[in-house]
Structure 1
Amino acid sequence: MIIERIQVNETNILLKTDLINHDLYNFILRQRMDLINYIKNNGEFLISFEPVEVEEVPIIVKMMARAGKIADVGPMAAVAGTISELSMNFLIRNGAKYMILENGGDIALKVNKDVVMGLYAGTSSLSGQIGFKIKHESTPMGICTSSGTVGHSISLGRSDSVTVFADQASVADAIATSVANDAKGELDQDAVQNCLDKADEYKSYFRGIMIVVGESAGTIGKIPKLIKTDKKVVLGDLFDLY
């Protein structure tokens, strides 16, 4: 098993896999070039906060546009999750049996043993205290987190974390952004409820969602089993506690 960091400009993947010779760097580079070249001639794709229609386009553009349409957000909301998902599929095609790819808090994984994902939720007391037990038979899976208080991604709400579990990381990423945008309200529990109401609109596209705002939390759908941890989880540095 190897652990390595693969960085291609803004893409910053922490990879754990059993596949030693994978050439994932060049695969990611090609995907990014496809996206950059498309944006050069279609600037709206980069700046839109609303879904964008596309036709004959590279696979990365198609997946991002589809995810944005599902979650009613701009396609760039799904870029990190889409790259994680595409990278996972690339490794699977090349024979990997175990892989976890974390890209700015957006994870795609397929594993042959159970793992635990730590929860990072900013200054909330839940941060680093609980984790999600991911059963290997439930993978491949996308686990994506959006936050209004942590990280550089744009969020219109004030959630500490909105973590989405879905079949596809691209879709999970877009839904996490959309739901986190609704984390509004004077009281933390009001912000959580607003997120839950928003998430209900997308329930056919995810497995489960956990929302944390301050000391309040809520879930919808079926999330993995929660377990207590004593790890200091730092976003982007630790994603597998086993």
Structure 2
Amino acid sequence: MDYIERTYRDLHRQGDLIHFQVGVKETDLDIGVRRDRFTPELVSWVEKLIKEQRSLLEEYINRDTVFPTTLNPHKVLPGAPDIAIEMAEAGQLAGVGPMAAVAGAFSQVVGKALSRRSRDVIVENGGDIFIKTSCARKVGIFAGTSPFSNKIALEIQPWQSPLGICTSSGTVGHSLSFGKSDAVIILSSSPILADAVATAAGNFVQVEEDVQRAVDYAASIKGITGAVAIKGEKMAVWGQIKLVPMG
């Protein structure tokens, strides 16, 4: 797994940005910002932000014990923090539990905050990405043992950003999936929604022929702008997706 972690992180890193890592408990972010915006103080500021948001979420979970375990849409209790509310709303739209969106939630919170300090930002959290860009960028696709893996990339244009690019896989990584996709990649202006829908769409994929079903499902959800589903030698694509060769 360590080898996979290092490999897939290479797929979104950009040569013109400085990338650094910030880890707080299970939250493990790879962050890219413009070189002129990077300072040691920025790293500390991001770490503090993650701790604050994690604390809000952890305190809420102590109050709402169903929230972290349910696999179904869940209504939050009064007084829930914004991060929990947005996760639950995304889960409602996607038909999954709120924790399906937790990685996308931290990418979004940190990405939006950093966007006020850097014109170009990439935040990756377990394959779930927030990107804001002033130029065209390639984000490579890792799809396990599929022949498409490490061969193709998404080309993202500035007009598409800020953008969430979230990936679910039934064959790679530790995230819960009831499907067997090599990769389901979802695009949305909300990384939180993209993360939840990636999980839900990935659950549809058991065999190669299911990739179209997964993409059709994602396309039916308001707020989703693009979808790619890969299983073995089959791939389905919908929406604002431009695939280009890696390299």
Shift of 1:153: 0.3
Deviation at 1:197, TM superposition (A): 3.7
Q: Say whether the 8 Å CA contact 1:184–1:194 is kept in structure 2.
A: no
Structure 1 Cα separation of the partners of residues 138 and 166 of structure 2: 15
1:3-152 residue pairs with structure 2 within 5 A? Answer: 3-18=19-34, 19-20=37-38, 21-22=41-42, 23-54=45-76, 55-93=78-116, 95-152=117-174
User: Could you say which residue in structure 2 is the equivalent of 1:208?
Assistant: 226
Looking at structure 1, the residues matched to 199 and 165 of structure 2 have their Cα atoms a distance apart, in angstroms, of 13
Residues 49 and 110 in structure 2, CA contact (< 8 A), matched pair in contact too: yes
Amino acid at match of 1:192: V
Counterpart position of 2:5:
none
Aligned Cα RMSD in Å?
1.2
- CA separation in 1, counterparts of 2:216 and 2:106? 28
Q: Which segment is superposed worse, 151-160 or 1-10?
A: 1-10
> Which segment drifts farther, 48-57 or 99-108?
48-57
Contact preservation (8 Å) 1:81, 1:173? yes
Match of 1:237 in 2: none
Structure 1 residue corresponding to 2:243, chosen from 202, 208, 226: 226
* Structure 2 length-normalised TM: 0.87
Identify the structure with bigger relative contact order (alpha carbons < 8 Å, sequence gap 6+): 1
- Shift, 1:222, TM fit: 2.2
Q: Name the TM-score, length of structure 1 as normaliser.
A: 0.89
Please state if 1:196 is matched with 2:204.
no
| In structure 1, distance between residues paired with 2:190 and 2:216 | 22
Counterpart among 160, 185, 191 of residue 182 in structure 2: 160
Spell out, residue by residue over 1:211-242, the C-alpha distance to the aligned partner (whole angstroms, 9 max, x if none): 0001100012221x211125xxxxxxxxxxxx
The Cα of 1:196 is off from its aligned counterpart by 2.8
Q: Aligned partners of 1:160 and 1:92: how far apart in 2?
A: 31
Q: Number of paired residues?
A: 224
- Percent identity reads 37
Counterparts of 1:26 and 1:48 in 2: how far apart (Å)? 29
Answer whether contact 2:186 2:198 (CA < 8 A) is retained.
yes
Using the alignment, how far apart are the partners of 2:146 and 2:123 within structure 1?
25
**C-alpha distance in 1 between matches for 2:112 and 2:223:** 19
1:138 & 1:192 partners in 2: Cα distance? Answer: 24
Structure 1: which 5+ residue stretches go unaligned? 231-242
Shift of 1:41: 1.4
1:28-54 deviation digits (Å, cap 9, x = unpaired): 111011111111111100000011112
CA distance in 2 between counterparts of 1:39 and 1:141 reads: 28
Alignment check: 8 A CA contact 1:85 1:108 kept: yes
- Distance (whole Å) between structure 2 residues aligned to residue 214 and residue 103 of structure 1: 25
